[in-house]
Amino acid sequence: MALAVLENVPLAPRCTMGVGGPARFFIEAASEADVREAHAWAARHGRALRVLGGGSNLVVADAGVDALVLRMGLRGIAARPVDGAVEVTAAAGEPWDALVAHAVAQGWAGLECLAGIPGLVGATPIQNVGAYGQEVSETITAVRALDRRDGAVVTLPAADCGFGYRDSRFRRAEPERWIVLDVTYRLAPGGPPTLRYADVERELAARGASAPSVAEVREAVLAIRRRKSMVLDATDPNRRSCGSFFLNPTLSREEAERVAARAGEALPRWPTPDGRVKLSAAWLIEAAGFTRGHRHGPVALSSRHALAIVCHDGARAADVIAFARVLRDAVAERLGARLEPEPILWGAALD
């Protein structure tokens, strides 16, 4: 049976910010055959093809998307032992937080600090999702994807994925080439949890967990994220956001020193493996004069975290973009650091 192609389907209800216009064409893909058919349909009709996951890291322009939007619904999880580890392959449409919960319940270490992150498995290699001292690139062994150039399905080893800070081959280098079908992660059965982040260590200490399990680390991370409104909750007034709107900037040591001099106070900073310095985008926003809860028309900073832009009643995508520009430009003018957006922008741009 031919795949149903819908027209003028609203995207705002399918995105956590709740703004943006419709998809000109829309397909729900429940199988790899559906994905291949959607790819072929877009090619036959000369339409761009966009892939929609959980909509938690996306801003859609008010005019919508003049393209075929493929909603990723592939499901399935399989695990197999490999040389004392376990390799878990999850389909791109699997909810990410459920996969983390499953791994933790099995006692598999490697994903516990990534609990509470919304979205689907397929987005994790694209964004190189990370939080609280872990990144998925540390555990990903392979990404299986459809190559839009020729329609072939290929398996890319981690070394070919171009992982960087919140970046990958799939995001910047070749953003329109690949459709992720499934991802394989290598986890450690009975392994120790990752403890690299001060907030997590403080939370565990407050709970009296001196030798925490992966389950205890997951619960600590969830508690921290809830306090920052970084867990989807229908009762939270900060819920209409896409989480962190800006990446933490990574600068040379000289550039970081110049920012510190302009800030006139202790600048939080962390060395990176490549000898550069990572700064806190949230700290920079507050240092530029914006407090948590700062309102800009129908949008605002989260009342719990300065890195999240929140939509209120009447907000449009244009309001989100306009406020993001205000924040970016103020940080650049006052502190000399440039902020880059973390979410994907469909039909919208800060520049």
Considering 56, 244, 302, 328, which one is annotated as catalytic?
244
Over residues 209-237, the pLDDT tens digits come to 999 999 999 999 999 999 999 998 999 99
Over residues 80-126, the pLDDT tens digits come to 999 999 999 999 999 999 999 999 999 999 999 999 999 999 999 99
Query: Active site includes 239?
Result: no
Closest CA to 336 of 259, 279, 251: 259
- Rounded Cα distance between 197 and 336, Å, is 27
Residues in the chain: 351
Query: Active site includes 32?
Result: no
Q: Considering the chain, what is the average pLDDT of its residues? A: 96
pTM (two decimals): 0.93
CATH-assigned architecture of domain 250-346: Alpha-Beta Complex (3.90)
The pair of three-digit structure tokens given for residue 290, joined into one six-digit string: 């914006």
Helix axes 253-263, 317-335, angle to 10 degrees: 90
Which stretches within 106-213 are classed as H helix?
123-127, 198-206
* Confidence bin at 251 (pLDDT 50/70/90): very high
Cite the residue boundaries of each domain of the chain with CATH code 3.90.78.10. Answer: 250-346
Please state, for a pLDDT cut of 70, what percent of the chain lies above it: 100
Q: Please name the amino acid found at residue 298.
A: P
Cα dihedral: 197, 201, 202, 206 (round 10): 160
Cite the residue boundaries of each domain of the chain with CATH code 3.30.465.10. Answer: 77-227
Question: What is the structure's pLDDT at 108?
Answer: 98
Considering 50, 144, 166, 328, which one is annotated as catalytic?
166
Q: Which CATH number fits domain 6-72: 3.40.50.720, 3.10.20.340, 2.30.30.100, 3.30.43.10?
A: 3.30.43.10
Strand order in the sheet with 22-29: 6-10, 22-29, 65-72, 49-52
> Is a pLDDT exceeding 80 seen at residue 26?
yes
- Rounded Cα distance between 293 and 284, Å, is 15
State the average pLDDT over residues 169-186: 96
Over residues 267-306, the pLDDT tens digits come to 999 998 889 999 999 999 999 999 999 999 999 999 999 9
Contact 287, 333 (CB under 8 A): no
> Is a pLDDT exceeding 80 seen at residue 2?
no
Query: Active site includes 342?
Result: yes
Cα-based distances in Å from 349 to 123, 322, 335: 20, 10, 22
CATH number corresponding to 77-227? 3.30.465.10
> Is a pLDDT exceeding 60 seen at residue 1?
no
Contact 27, 6 (CB under 8 A): yes
